[in-house]
Amino acid sequence: VGMKLPGIVTNITNFGAFVDIGVHQDGLVHLSQLSNRYISDPHEVVKVQQHVMVTVTEVDEKRSRIALSMKTDEKPALPKNKKNEPKKQAEPQTDMASKLAALASKFK
């Protein structure tokens, strides 16, 4: 969950788009997760075979479902007067291939 992955749109339905992210199960980008703005038809945003960047939002192994989002991380700019706050520790970067392999192993 939280991984950003490249994918290819494989199918479009009235409730969202299915995206191949390189595991045995395509993930679903629900209509509400296709864009930061409101859309009524997925065809407004994506088309079949389009290359997209998605974020894994949920993995349901029991139902073999992967929930994805295409929303961007648009955050308001932070005020510059934040000198007294402690700096966040950088999270260790794990290899993307190992993350993808771990996700793929859940759907074999």
Q: Please, what are the domains in the chain?
A: 4-72+95-105 (2.40.50.140)
8 A C-beta contact, residue 51 and residue 7:
yes
pLDDT band at residue 102, thresholds of 50, 70 and 90? Answer: confident
**Is residue 96 a contact partner of residue 53, using CB atoms and an 8 Å limit?**
no
| Model confidence, pTM | 0.71
Q: Of all residues in the chain, what percent carry a pLDDT higher than 90?
A: 63
CA distances from 89 to 24, 83, 86, 92, 93 (A): 34, 16, 9, 9, 12
pLDDT digit string, tens, across residues 10-24: 999 999 999 999 998
The pLDDT-based confidence of 99 (bands split at 50, 70, 90) is confident
